[in-house]
Amino acid sequence: MRPCDRRVPDGIVVAAPLVRREAPAGRVTLVHQPSLQTVPQGVTPVVMLDIASWRPRVAAVDVEHHARALEAGSVLVLPRLAFGIEADETRFLDVRWSDGKAKNISLEGQAIKGARGAADDLAALARMVGRFAADATALVGALFPRYAAHLLRARTSYRPFGAAGRAVSWRKDDTRLHVDAFPSRPNRGERILRVFCNVNPNGEDRVWRVGETFEAMARRLLPHVRSMYAGESAALAALHVTKGPRSEYDHLMLGLHDRAKADVDYQHGSAQREIRFAPGTTWICYSDQVMHAASSGQFMLEQTTHLPLSALYEPERSPLAVLERITGRELVRRNAT
Ligand code: SIN
Ligand code: FE
């Protein structure tokens, strides 16, 4: 089996395109990491998948293997899975389509947001982003059939800006290691599964740092997260800061997100590694679990999907279960709707 990653001594993973293989597109091969000793202990694993179709046929044994790797906090990298941008869509690889206000262009349902242009152009842009949404959703369904019936498709985003260099507050600065948590949309422990694809036309990698395991991060930072105030959840909902009540789980996840980003020593001193995603590479992770930071790169598509803990192979590895183990209490009211 040919390893499809090139690993240099300091643990950087280069997710370069593979040399073509004889295996038919859609056949899946799990490529084991060849030199684990170069990766710092306890850092997010990277699993390379030799898949070149958005609708692959995957053997049952591989399905479970990939799902368990994902649920254990790995990033699954598919260096041969490019998103097909049509000739007349290459014009969209330009920041001029942004409305200049929103960080990303996004598609929610049929509506394209954060973009500007003539109605025809915006409809074409929406079709491109919508095609990625369909491809990414099909991929997740094909790779993880057990999830398929439970998947809740959320926002699709197209990110035309460079990952670094935009002036944002530290809290919004995604070049700092963090787990994803949404201030206005409590998810009460539901998972955040994301599919990313680098569509850069100029050969520029998207570069991430990934950090230590969720549990190691939580044990280190949770003592610095304040408790919820009495009545805080109801007040946030009444003021429409949140859509629905913020559970204690959501409060702690936001607290961890903020503590990690605010802590300069943590940003530089915690165990981490770099991953380079070449153009034409797709990758998948639970972004509520994987400590990640976008260092550089431009032009990326991303699909967010939610799924309930009941869909998982190993719900005990989820952030909710880990935080409940650490705090020793229920963080979401199980009977609430
Ligand atoms: C993020 O999800 O935090 C940023 C990912 C990226 O822009 O590459
Ligand atoms: Fe993020």
| 170 CB burial (10 A radius; 0-12, 13-18, 19+) | exposed
- Residue 6 is predicted with a pLDDT of 41
Query: pLDDT category, 41, cuts 50, 70, 90?
Result: confident
Which residue CA neighbors atom 1 of ligand 1 most closely? 174
Instruction: For the full predicted model, state whether its pTM sits above 0.85.
Output: yes
β-pairing, 152-162 vs 298-307, is antiparallel
Query: pLDDT category, 38, cuts 50, 70, 90?
Result: low
Tens digits of residue pLDDT in 239-275: 988 888 889 999 999 999 999 999 999 999 999 999 9
Helix/strand/coil for 41: coil
- Residue 48 is predicted with a pLDDT of 96
Give the whole-angstrom CA distance, residue 175 versus residue 177: 7
**pLDDT beyond 80 at 282:** yes
Tens digits of residue pLDDT in 312-322: 999 999 999 99
Which residue CA neighbors atom 6 of ligand 1 most closely? 294
- Residue 31 is predicted with a pLDDT of 43
- Nearest-atom number in ligand 1 for the CA of 206 is 8
Q: Measuring CA to CA, how many Å separate 211 from each of 246, 278, 286?
A: 26, 20, 13
**pLDDT beyond 60 at 27:** no
Q: Measuring CA to CA, how many Å separate 279 from each of 51, 202, 299?
A: 15, 8, 9
Q: Measuring CA to CA, how many Å separate 289 from each of 179, 242, 318?
A: 6, 22, 7
- Residue 319 is predicted with a pLDDT of 98
Two structure tokens written together for 22? 């004889």
- Residue 128 is predicted with a pLDDT of 98
**pLDDT beyond 80 at 11:** no
**Ligand nearest to C-alpha 300:** 1
Residues whose beta carbon lies within 6 Å of some atom of ligand 1: 159, 163, 174, 206, 287, 292, 294, 300
Query: pLDDT category, 13, cuts 50, 70, 90?
Result: low
Which residue CA neighbors atom 3 of ligand 1 most closely? 174
**pLDDT beyond 80 at 324:** yes
Q: Measuring CA to CA, how many Å separate 290 from each of 37, 149, 196?
A: 20, 24, 14
When mean pLDDT is compared across 31-35, 108-112, 129-133, 277-281, the lowest value belongs to 31-35
